[in-house]
Structure 1
Amino acid sequence: MARPLIGRTIRRLRMERGLTQQALAARLGISASYLNLIEHDQRSVTASLLIKLGEHLSVDLATLSGNRERQAEAGLREVLSDPLLGLEEVPEQEVAVLAASAPNAARAMLALYRAWRVAKEDASGLALPTGRRILLPTEEARDFFHDHANHFPTLEAAAEALGAALRATPAEMNHAIAERLRRTHGVTVAVGRLDGALRRYDPQLRRLDLSESLPRESRGFQMAFQLMLLESREAVEAVVAPAEPTSADAASLIRLGLLNYAAAALLMPYAPFLGAARELRHEVEALAARFGVSFEQAAHRLSTLQRPGEGGAARGVPFFFLRVDPAGNVDKRFSAAGFPFARFGGSCPKWIVHRAFAHPGETQVQVAQLPDGAAFLTFARAIASPTTRWGEPAPMHVVAMGCDIARAGEIAYADGIEIARAAVGIGLSCRLCDRVDCRSRAFPPLEHRLTLDPNEDSAAPFRFETTQPRARPRL
């Protein structure tokens, strides 16, 4: 397994705090030359030095993991491999140096590339039947939640205060929320048939209608959402305003995401949920049953348990989370575990996420190993959403999670798996993967010349040279 390289993280944190190498080295009790070697990943960091770094840089040990830098490197590799940019091969070392020494420039490059992709797609014909062209702000919203580590202390505090008031009376949670809506806000809740909708709120009549097709846990979540909308609007706006979204659509997506976050925090309060997660060894089905929520709601909540401080005792296992449909479209994505999602293309067909569709309702488990040696325990489950009318295909999606293989012992899904032998080699995406013998490959890698031989048919769809990179076309 690849050795974690945290020197670039130390360098970034030092520069963000305006410290010279000499100043930080003096605080740590080491020489500036030794710190320089650490920052260039030429010396390892002892446990005692790690603790000192956390104290003097005012961060917990999880922040020193280098996940942020690995995400930036993965994004830069993907961007710089795009043949339309007309670049020669960019060595891996240059990508690592750019991500480490100029993190703000790296993020700006990713933002510019994303904007260029959107503009290119728009210019090439993404338009409604009316002729009006559209821009999708989903990436901006995803970046917002990623930049906040998918954890919002002010919303947690608001949900905890409200939850304490609700639990002051001995009532089942859904009933307590409905009573709070009725007594405090004059809102009545009705369950019945809603053509083409799952939830509808009429602010004039003060009436919340829920579709009878919704399962009980989804009805509870919709009521929690409505309650947080009425009682936590100011807290949500205080989080949205500093982000300065670039469009009304992006602001709306962020706002809705935060309200969903607050509703989850109300139904699954932080400390009790974290304690239950550890007790049940992060078995999502058991957590969902204990808190009366769905599999997806419990899984998503697990990915938000990143509360800082307390020496890391209040922080849960760093999970990545994503939701994908049968066409491979990802509409939810977050990576606290440092898993390098492909931002601008499809993922590896060998990843368990895609195979889970063949086994709906069953949790599938895989040890996924990336080309750099990093390995993750991943688990995925295909879920069908309710339909609103007869004849409509049930919407299907896969909810997937995972964590660094070093934390596998804390996860129930790892039981019975021989980790060393179970690893399946996957790539970031086919165009960026150098694996030669992959029979599931959909495209050849961008960086290598194809070797086409009419006298031999390989088991793998594409054969290519592994030593001589292919020159990219010029624009």
Structure 2
Amino acid sequence: MTEDALFAGPAVRRLRKREGLTQAAAAARLDISPSYLNLIERNQRPVSARVMMQLVEQFDFDPRSLREDEAIGGMDGLVRRFADKRFADLGIDREELQEFLASSPQVAAAFARLYDNAAPAARGSEDPLTASRREIERWRNHFADLDAAAEDLADDMRLSRGDIGLALVERLRERHQLSVRILPREIMPDSLRRLDLHARQIQLSEMLSIPSRNFQLALQIAQLEFADAIDAVAKGAKFDDEAARALFARHLTGYVAAALIMPYGRFLRACEATGYDLPVLERRFGVSFEQLAHRLTTLQRVGQRGLPFFMVRLDRAGQFSKTFTGASTARFVESDASCPLWHAHRAFDRAGELQVQFVALDESGERDGGWLTMARTVEGSGAPGEAQFVVAVGVEAVLAGDLAQAYDISLRPADAQPIGPGCARCHRSGCRQRSLPPRGRKLAFDRIRRGVTPFEFEEG
């Protein structure tokens, strides 16, 4: 059984029983045969992207819950716990753990909970950013009430007209008696935006691009008019650290700002009409590539869903400073590091150029079906000369055939570029780009032969 394939039989079976359906009735709703559903429930077939989309549409189901092992850190998390010296005499190998996790995910989760509760100090070590991200993904990065309220406000402000910035300035002046002033860099050397209540001004740095200026004004409106709604959502999250709550609230404020500039219904219609053409959408809504990427991960409105995009932002060292998977099941972007074979890294040397690539998590592209990814450089704060990052978005290849950026790309599994979730978590053998040995695998040494990779390891 391949580790990264979406084998989720127990989760599908529980969903069917929760709905009170026979296998035949559930199969009919999923548009598959009862025998195929039986194989899925017995973990003899993976959940394909098409079946997953049917589960979402027919049952309003969170596809992330199909990967119940994510809550315990996946296979790596289970290996880490069983590496405890108290289990050393049992001789439990990785293959046994794979079978355990695949066949009994809830039992594995129960074990992980008991193990973690026995070590409260380790549980309390989660940093605020990780805790905030976990809560965002629990919502699948879609906050329906905030989204709808922002859309209503956009309609009230008539933000469909060309000059979004003017409409935002007028709202701040008429509703809040605040003017907008652009200040030189030497006056605001370390700030992008500042609210001066004494002068009744919103002061913006001249270094901001037009999309970034508009977004900062939208952020200010979100803070002034959505504070109670944002606070209610943030207080509902179970954080141990107030810093995590503050980070989550900051994300919600940005979410409202994006929903105001890119109102859900109009934005989704534009996506579908243009084949999610990223450059066209940037210009149509007057946004930056990073703002657009954020919005693409939020299209989960019931009855009006967009494609399940993921979005990441990474630096030259391959570290992720932002990760939003929304309704996507892209596991390779949830790692600590990215694969150097991914063309997102190439984007740093080709500033402003969109890097499009078909990638998959195994040699044949058949394990996860593959992903169409698009990456481009962005400035860290939206101001020229600032820290440079690459923002990448992606969607499952099976859903990407009609995308504008897929027209010249072969999506045949054999043509996918195999990548992994960073060297330490990647178990693919023979990769010449490998920098670190894989965790959980025993290294192999041959005195007679020297291989082409720096680390060789035993399979299985």
What's the TM-score once normalised by structure 2's chain length? Answer: 0.83
Question: Which residue of the other structure, out of 92, 99, 106, is the alignment partner of 1:93?
Answer: 99
Equivalent position of 1:460 in the other structure: 453
Alpha-carbon offset, residue 299 of structure 1: 1.4
Match of 1:411 in 2: 403
1:378 aligns with 2:376: no
Quickly say closer, same or farther: Cα 1:220–1:107, change in 2 above 3 A. farther
Compute the displacement of 1:366 (Å).
1.5
SS at 1:357 equivalent? helix
Query: For residues 399 and 419 of structure 2, what CA distance do their matches in structure 1 show?
Result: 19
Aligned pairs for 1:94-173 within 5 A: 94-99=100-105, 101-102=106-107, 105=110, 108=113, 136-167=127-158, 172-173=163-164
Kindly, what percent of the aligned residue pairs are identical? 35
With over 3 angstroms needed to count, the CA separation of the structure-2 counterparts of 1:289 and 1:460, relative to structure 1, is same
Structure 2 residue aligned with 1:428: 421
Aligned to 1:332: 322
Q: Could you tell me how far 1:237 is from its partner in structure 2?
A: 1.7
Contact in 2 for aligned 1:296/1:399 (Cα 8 Å): yes
1:163-202 deviations in Å (ceiling 9; x for gaps): 1111189672211111110111011111112121111112
Q: For residues 45 and 268 of structure 1, do their structure 2 counterparts lie closer, same or farther at Cα, with a shift above 3 Å needed?
A: closer
3-state secondary structure, aligned to 1:278: helix
Contact conserved, 1:9 with 1:64, CA < 8 A, in 2?
A: no
Matched-pair contact (CA < 8 Å) for 2:348–2:377: yes
Give the CA deviation at 1:208: 0.9
C-alpha displacement at 1:252, in angstroms?
0.8
Q: Which residue of 2 aligns with 1:7?
A: 9
For residues 407-453 of structure 1, give each alpha carbon's deviation from its aligned partner in whole angstroms, at most 9, with x where no partner exists.
12122221112222421111223223221110011112233332323
Q: 1:280 to 1:105 in 2, by over 3 A?
A: farther
CA distance in 2, matches of 1:203, 1:410: 49
C-alpha spacing 1:286/1:63, structure 2 compared with 1 (3 Å): same
Between 396-405 and 347-356, the greater mean CA deviation after superposition: 347-356
Alignment deviations for residues 94-136 of structure 1 (CA, whole Å, 9 cap, x no partner)? 112343x35864885898799866867xxxxxxxxxxxxxx73
Superimposed CA distance per residue, residues 28-52 of structure 1 (whole angstroms, 9 cap, x where no aligned partner): 389xx98876532458999xx999x
Work out whether 1:267 is the aligned partner of 2:265. no
* Helix, strand or coil at the partner of 2:182: strand
Q: How does 1:17-32 map to 2 (within 5 A)?
A: 17=18, 23-25=20-22, 28=25
Q: Name the CA shift for 1:108/1:265 in 2 (closer, same or farther; >3 Å).
A: farther
Q: What displacement does 1:455 show?
A: 4.0
Deviations 1:263-293 (A, max 9, x none): 0000000011111111111121210100011
Summarize the Cα distance change of 1:157–1:167 in structure 2 as closer, same or farther, 3 Å threshold.
same
Verify the 8 A CA contact 1:79 1:113 in the aligned structure 2.
no
Residue 328 of structure 1 aligns to a residue whose secondary structure is: coil
Cα distance per residue 1:368-395 (max 9 Å; x no partner): 1113711111111122236989xxx630
Are positions 1:248 and 2:246 aligned together? Answer: no
Q: Match for residue 173 of structure 2?
A: 182
Contact in 2 for aligned 1:138/1:253 (Cα 8 Å): yes
Shift of 1:459: 1.7
Asked if structure 1 preserves the Cα contact closer than 8 Å seen for 2:360 and 2:417, the reply is yes
Alpha-carbon separation, structure 1, partners of 2:120 and 2:375: 31
Contact 2:181–2:204, Cα closer than 8 Å, also in 1? yes
| TM-score normalised by length of structure 1 | 0.80
Cα RMSD (Å): 3.7
SS in 2 for 1:419: coil
CA contact under 8 A between 1:75 and 1:110: conserved in structure 2? Answer: no
Cα offset for 1:245?
A: 2.4
Q: Bigger relative contact order, structure 1 or 2, given CA contacts below 8 A and separation 6+?
A: 1
Partners of 2:101 and 2:300 lie apart in 1 by: 28
2:212 corresponds, among 211, 215, 218, to 218
Deviations 1:60-118 (A, max 9, x none): 2485585433363593212123386456424312112343x358648858987998668
Provide structure 2 residue ranges, at least 5 long, that are not aligned to the other structure. Answer: 28-33
What's the CA shift string for 1:285-305, capped at 9, x where partnerless?
210100011011111111111
Contact 1:75 1:342 in 2 (8 A): no
Question: 1:192 matched to which residue of 2?
Answer: 183
Q: Is the 8 A contact 1:50 1:61 kept in 2?
A: no
Measured in 1, the distance between the counterparts of 2:420 and 2:118 equals 22
State the match for 2:290 in structure 1: 296
Q: Secondary structure at the match of 1:442?
A: coil
Deviation of 1:14 (Å): 5.0
Once the two structures are superposed, residues 284-331 of structure 1 have per-residue CA deviations (whole angstroms, 9 ceiling, x without a partner) of 1210100011011111111111111x3xxx100001111112222212
1:364 aligns with 2:368: no
Q: Residue 44 and residue 456 in structure 1: after superposition, are their counterparts in 2 closer, same or farther (change >3 A)?
A: closer
Residues 181, 187 of structure 1: 8 Å contact kept: yes
